[in-house]
Amino acid sequence: MLLQTWSQVLTASFQNLWTGVVMYIPLIVVSIVILIVGWAFGTIVGKWVSQVVRALKLDRALESLGVNDLMTRAGWRLDSGRFIGELVKWFIIVTFLVAAIDVLGLSQVNIFLQQVVLGYIPNVIVAALILLVAAVLAEFLQKLVTGSARAGEISQAELFGGVTKWAVWIFALIAAMSQLGIAGQLFYTLFTGIVAMLALAGGLAFGLGGRDAAARYLDKLHKDISR
């Protein structure tokens, strides 16, 4: 009797398992079809977007801003068409992947993809654009400040240019980290502390031993302006 009961339990379990597998197979097939369609559609649209961006000659505009030099130094090749095309391609593929997973009923994986992947991609793009603009702006302002300081016969022109460049980079890094939600407040606090420390050190140096040098510099600046 006990053996018969165990046999019935095992038979019912295998039947339920087989029924579940048989019912799940069509969902798997539909999900695979959705993925194939999404991959093909994403690849086609990505190539089309890449060609459109290249036709707009965006790379030439970026080269005129000095972006190509920055990319070359970093060991990368400037190809905005391919970059934007790949972003569009994978965005479409991940969107179709979300639909395929939704068909399978894997809600937790779906939530992860929607919130972390699809929800995070725009932030990554914005952060990358912030750093790109910062790279161009930092180089431009460094040259501008250095050139202006040299034209005004101010010593340490390179130092002023370097400080300007790194100030732009630090602000851009804080903005990018804040956009990504990665310790933006921590970076801001550290930067504020560093600026306060430098200001205090500069004030002490000026008060303790830099008054004569500052007086000579101001006198020279006054004579230059009076010419």
Q: Looking at the domain assignment, is residue 79 inside a domain?
A: yes
Q: What is the pLDDT of residue 199?
A: 61
Q: Structural domain tally of the chain?
A: 1
Angstrom distance (rounded) from CA 133 to CA 140: 11
Can you tell me which residue has the tokens 């087989």? 18
3-state secondary structure 46-98: HHHHHHHHHHCCHHHHHHHCCHHHHHHHCCCCCCHHHHHHHHHHHHHHHHHHH
Residue 114 has a CB neighbour count (10 Å cut-off) of 15
Q: What is the pLDDT of residue 146?
A: 79
Q: What is the pLDDT of residue 21?
A: 58
Angstrom distance (rounded) from CA 30 to CA 61: 45
Q: Looking at the domain assignment, is residue 68 inside a domain?
A: yes
Q: What angle do CA 166, 169, 173 make, to 5 degrees?
A: 140
Q: Looking at the domain assignment, is residue 7 inside a domain?
A: yes
Q: Looking at the domain assignment, is residue 208 inside a domain?
A: no
pLDDT in tens, the chain (227 residues): 545 565 665 666 656 665 655 666 777 888 888 889 999 999 999 899 888 877 877 667 666 666 666 666 656 676 777 878 888 888 888 888 888 888 777 776 667 666 666 667 777 777 777 777 777 777 777 787 777 777 766 666 777 777 778 778 778 877 777 777 766 566 666 666 666 665 665 555 555 455 555 566 556 655 655 55
Q: What is the pLDDT of residue 151?
A: 72
**Rounded to two decimals, what is the model's pTM?**
0.53
Q: Looking at the domain assignment, is residue 108 inside a domain?
A: yes
Q: Looking at the domain assignment, is residue 51 inside a domain?
A: yes
Q: What is the pLDDT of residue 81?
A: 77
Q: Looking at the domain assignment, is residue 166 inside a domain?
A: no
Angstrom distance (rounded) from CA 96 to CA 48: 18
Residue 60 has a CB neighbour count (10 Å cut-off) of 9
> Where in the sequence is the domain holding 108, given as residue range(s)?
1-119
Q: What is the pLDDT of residue 194?
A: 63
Angstrom distance (rounded) from CA 124 to CA 120: 6
Q: Looking at the domain assignment, is residue 203 inside a domain?
A: no
